[in-house]
Amino acid sequence: MCGILAVFGCIDNSQAKRSRIIELSRRLRHRGPDWSGLHCHGNCYLAHQRLAIVDPASGDQPLYNEDKTVIVTVNGEIYNHKQLREKLKSHQFRTGSDCEVIAHLYEEHGEEFVDMLDGMFSFVLLDTKDNSYIAARDAIGVTPLYMGWGLDGSIWFASEMKALSDDCERFISFPPGHIYSSKQGGLRRWYNPPWFLEQTPSSSYDPIVLRKAFEKAVFKRLMTDVPFGVLLSGGLDSSLVAAVACRYLAESEAACQWGSQLHTFCIGLESSPDLKAAREVADYLGTRHHEFHFTVQEGIDALEEVIYHIETYDVTTIRASTPMFLMSRKIKSLGVKMVLSGEGSDEIFGGYLYFHKAPNKEEFHQETCQKIKALHLYDCLRANKSTSAWGVEARVPFLDKEFINIAMSIDPEWKMIRPDLGRIEKWVLRNAFDDVQKPYLPKHILYRQKEQFSDGVGYSWIDGLKDHANKQVTDAMLTHASFIYPENTPTTKEAYCYRTIFEKFFPKNAARSTVPGGPSVACSTAKAVEWDAAWSKNLDPSGRAALGIHSAAYEEAVDAKNKSSLSGSPKKLQGVGEKASAVV
């Protein structure tokens, strides 16, 4: 990952303004510690903090066309850049950077080239011939981008909120799959896949097609000139990423530089579910596995720094970001700069445990569509910013454009959880990789029940966070929360605690409006809470809150109060999840 900052239409273009832009860009240096660049043209500034992954020697930014009339600053990776270069043979390339194709594609096609890009990206491009500019963000929002407006009429773009929040009167999270054009004066959607309309698809399920699409998505993300690895929790998604990467690593160019043994990384509290499962998968695949431990107190001590970097007060995101943040620091200390991760699968296939209660395939599909559309505010934000805090890039093969289109065209009847047919959550994905002749994973790993990352690192992590919040926030503070925080009012002490830290770093109204709100159970949308009346009494984003589904589900609130004196740990409940697991 890199950090970009661009400002257009400044009234002041003095040396002091240039110094201010450099100062603000420096706030993004954690994202790109390898080099800094700045291009000024009149009242326009394009700044860049580089994390060198492809072509470390010559790919410094900003990047240019042949006569330097087109300037572009980019955060991301363009996986099909070699194919695009083949179509641009009349152009002269200055670097081996995958992102340089953007400047030349603009010359060839004007603003209508973004859908040609296969990758994750946020970029800003200036055409000095007419002083017009565009900004665009990838289809799902894997890379972050913010857009702001200054009182002097200037327009700002930045990878993170911290680079523009002080100097903009208003700012927003730039919507994924959109382009901003100064010529047209507004945002428009460039990404318009069939699933976006949320109409129920009817295509049949072909496990081989699905498998090959995912293998292709993983393989293209092995494009790197630096050491890399896979984040391995031992759950289905990360294990499949690791299994496919292991199978095809030897065929990649990366293997020529870094060898054919994959590095995998896992973090958790001592004896956590993830550590055990990840170790087993790593042994099975023969990876060079790195296991990191942290304590609840170490996680709590990091909360302020985590919230500063991830720029949210969403409870689920903070719970999961903290161990990922700590792990990324360890990974960087080993000299690794790029990792593959398993985000996006649960949204595409209905993997969260609350999907067990989906009343029909139409609502199941609509919920998956809504979850994918919101990923840039949750899991994409977490995966990107938690790793970028330490100069590590996270790539997410499940969010490959082609793979999503195939997966979202499947009739959702196939995705529905059907214990009577032996189908647990994400059965279509599990089945696609259930190869008897040449197994990708052991059966019990392939059919392991869903653990959200914040749960899997150790259940006492969430319990410890709640205990910490109870000590920091009084009953009176929570009672009066609606007066202190009238927008997105925190409803728990944990949420209140995180909100207080967030407001310290980002006090403006515009900042708090970039964070979504609303009731949720086990990461559901507010609409899905209606699927089970009991959930409204237990609104917690942990997977254990899906009462009667998770094998370590919370007890209902009344029972928990009655039995709190007997045990502080969640009681194991017999439920749908256990029955489904037993069938497979």
Distances (CA, A) of 530 to 356, 358, 535, 580: 13, 10, 8, 23
Span between the terminal Cα atoms of the chain, in Å:
40
In this structure, the number of other CB atoms found within 10 A of the CB of residue 482 comes to 12
| SS3 call for 143 | coil
**Order of strands, sheet of 119-127, starting from the edge strand that comes earlier in the sequence:** 63-64, 70-78, 119-127, 132-137, 178-181, 186-189
Among candidate residues 2, 168, 369, 380, the one labeled active-site is 2
Instruction: Give the whole-angstrom CA distance, residue 518 versus residue 521.
Output: 10
H-helix segments, 389-480: 401-407, 427-432, 443-446, 453-456, 459-472, 475-479
If DSSP states are collapsed to H, E and C, what string results for 375-407? HHHCHHHHHHHHHHCCCCEEECHHHCHHHHHHH
Question: Token pair of 84, please?
Answer: 């695009």
CB 247 within 8 A of CB 260: no
Instruction: Give the whole-angstrom CA distance, residue 10 versus residue 29.
Output: 23
E strand or H helix at 172: strand 170-173
Amino acid identity of residue 250, one-letter, is A
Question: Token pair of 130, please?
Answer: 């007419």
Instruction: Give the whole-angstrom CA distance, residue 224 versus residue 221.
Output: 8
2 is catalytic: yes
Residues with catalytic roles: 2
